Structure 1
Amino acid sequence: MSKYILVAETGADLPKDIVDKYQIKIVPMHVSFGTETKDDMTFPVSDVFEFYKKTGTLPKTSGSTPSDFEVVFDEIHHEFPDKHILHLAYSAITTCSYQSAVIASENKDYITSIDTKCVSAGQAYLVLTVAEWLENNLNASLEEVKTKVNELISKIHMGFIPGDLVYLKAGGRVSNAAYLGAKILNLSPVIEIIDGKLVSSKKYRGSMLTTGPKLIKDFAIEHKLEKNRLVFVYSGELNSELKEKAEKTASECGFLNCMWISAGCVVSTHSGPGAFGVIGFTE
């Protein structure tokens, strides 16, 4: 049995079967609908889209607070006093969660927090990979674990195409002029997570059925991705035709397995419904 308990935020969008299998503990992030704030993942993602349709205003997302972490850390330590808590944090540049965890773990030498510099399914894939590694390295020291985690952080790549640019515009991530130009030219930006930041790296023309496979091919080549597994992330309802095309393209690129992760409320608030992304590790 592992000497470590893994912790991540709800914004990691970890599938329940993975959480259950590896006993990963989850700390809530938050979404505000006007004056009402709810814990992330306690309501369906569709509520985010419905709120924007009705109000023309995006819900606001916020990171986990020190008290959120204190509750989870204390529960873990009470149940597993001999285990080390390893918090693999949502990108510190994008939210306060990492800093909140540092505050909550002050003077507690049984807690280690590491900024994964990832969000959503990128963070999920990194947490899963660490969990799998720990399962095969039961006696790993904390220094060995930290070295492995930092190695994985340096190798992971995530890029996604937003489902609806109006969400990026409403959230202030693109200007009105850029939004109108993209709509007229039928362009979709690729957003990559680079050193924890969300960066627009290139633009594709066409529908998601065209741009999704392009993203897979380009990402696989540019980042020389490992072929054992490719992770896809999507928001809202998954288009069955896109799923078929994505898996076929991945197979043609030599990937042995595909894994699908549904984006939760935090990321979907910024990407809109219909977003599609790719995550993998450099060889």
Structure 2
Amino acid sequence: MGQIILSTESGADIPSDLAEKHKIQVVPMHIIMDGRDYLDGSLPVQEIYDYYTRTKQIPTTTSTNVYEYEQFFTKIRKQYPGCTIIHIGYTSKASSSFQHAVIASEEFEDLHLIDALNVTGGLAAIVLYAAELLGRSPDVNAKQLLQEIEEVVPKTRLAFIPGSLEFLKAGGRVSNTASLVGTLLKIKPCIELKDGNLMSTKKYRGKVMGAAEKLLRDYLSAFDLDTRQLYMIYSIGLDEKVKQRMEVIAEEYGFHHTTWIQAGAMISTHSGPGGFGVAGLER
């Protein structure tokens, strides 16, 4: 049986050391800024925030196209001859990337696609779960591995608070009135993935430290999560004291290992600087 190779998009924000450790192949999505097309991963996130400061505009994002997927899957096949590819994709409810992967896959055998119905740390949690399964049982049957991955997709929970309502307003994601009221009242919306869709579910009032703590406690109380692994997501600008406090709270709830994931350029164009999120898998 050939080797199984896992792949995903850059919107998973998988830390490079973990991608390298597990041989996870990552195809870049796109950032369009100031008339130029940048591959996600090649553009420093800080440049996005600097661009917004100068222009009061945010970049746009585009999905990986069919041709890029064809080239991506071909490259994997050349690097790992005879392999089976399992591609775990960015939610189809928020991007056309997964559909493009479906079209490209028609030219390949032993290529399987799973819609993770998740983004950033939620998508990373699924991919890394698959990597751990594969690491423990390298001779696992592809069909069995696919089934185990598909079973964990609906058990994956992601919630986050964006760093800037002003940033969301600039991207047309909240109305001017909602943004103004939110700024005046220091309200931070909680965004969750529901069936693959990004939805505002709660609102937290106050500074980032207090809002992040309320979010994390609500999240950890709401779900029966696997305590072996928790993923916390941050965008550039989140105070280190907030990160330290979140680790303390995670330990209070019995989590044995926390991995921090920095939001890349793709996700940061939607969340702004100083955001915080959390992702994990239900038992």
TM range (shorter): over 0.9
The answer as to 2:71 corresponding to 1:71 is: yes
Q: Cα offset for 1:238?
A: 3.9
State which drifts further: 87-96 or 135-144.
135-144
Report the aligned-residue RMSD.
1.3
| Paired letter, 1:75 | K
Could you tell me how far apart the structure 2 residues matched to 1:195 and 1:137 are? 30
Structure 2 partner of 1:254? 254
Q: Give CA-to-partner distance per residue, 1:91-144, whole Å, 9 cap, x none.
A: 111111111111111142221111101101211121111000111222322221
* Distance change in 2, residues 1:201/1:2 (3 Å): farther
Structure 1 partner of 2:110? 110
Q: Cα offset for 1:33?
A: 0.7
SS of 2:250's partner is helix
Structure 1 partner of 2:224? 224
Q: Cα offset for 1:2?
A: 7.7
1:51-200 to 2 correspondences below 5 Å: 51-200=51-200
Structure 1 partner of 2:282? 282
Q: Tell me the TM-score normalized by structure 1.
A: 0.97
The answer as to 2:209 corresponding to 1:209 is: yes
| Paired letter, 1:37 | D
| Paired letter, 2:143 | E
Q: How many residues are treated as equivalent by the alignment?
A: 283
State which drifts further: 77-86 or 188-197.
77-86
Asked whether the 8 Å contact 1:160–1:277 carries over to 2, the reply is: yes
Could you tell me how far apart the structure 1 residues matched to 2:203 and 2:188 are? 5
| Paired letter, 2:16 | K
5+ residue gaps, structure 2, are: none
After TM superposition, where is structure 1 displaced by more than 2 Å over at least 4 residues in a row? Answer: 137-143
SS of 1:133's partner is helix
Could you tell me how far apart the structure 1 residues matched to 2:24 and 2:253 are? 32
Asked whether the 8 Å contact 1:2–1:138 carries over to 2, the reply is: no
Q: Give CA-to-partner distance per residue, 1:225-265, whole Å, 9 cap, x none.
A: 22112110000134111011101111111211111000000
Q: Tell me the TM-score normalized by structure 2.
A: 0.97
| Paired letter, 1:193 | L
Could you tell me how far apart the structure 1 residues matched to 2:236 and 2:25 are? 25
Q: Give CA-to-partner distance per residue, 1:144-186, whole Å, 9 cap, x none.
A: 1221111110111000000001111111111111111211221
Structure 1 partner of 2:44? 44
* Distance change in 2, residues 1:2/1:235 (3 Å): farther
Asked whether the 8 Å contact 2:2–2:82 carries over to 1, the reply is: no
* Distance change in 2, residues 1:240/1:102 (3 Å): same
Asked whether the 8 Å contact 1:156–1:282 carries over to 2, the reply is: yes
State the identity %.
38
The answer as to 2:23 corresponding to 1:23 is: yes
| Paired letter, 1:21 | K
Could you tell me how far apart the structure 1 residues matched to 2:246 and 2:70 are? 41
SS of 2:114's partner is strand
| Paired letter, 1:40 | D
5+ residue gaps, structure 1, are: none
| Paired letter, 1:228 | R
Could you tell me how far apart the structure 2 residues matched to 1:165 and 1:223 are? 27
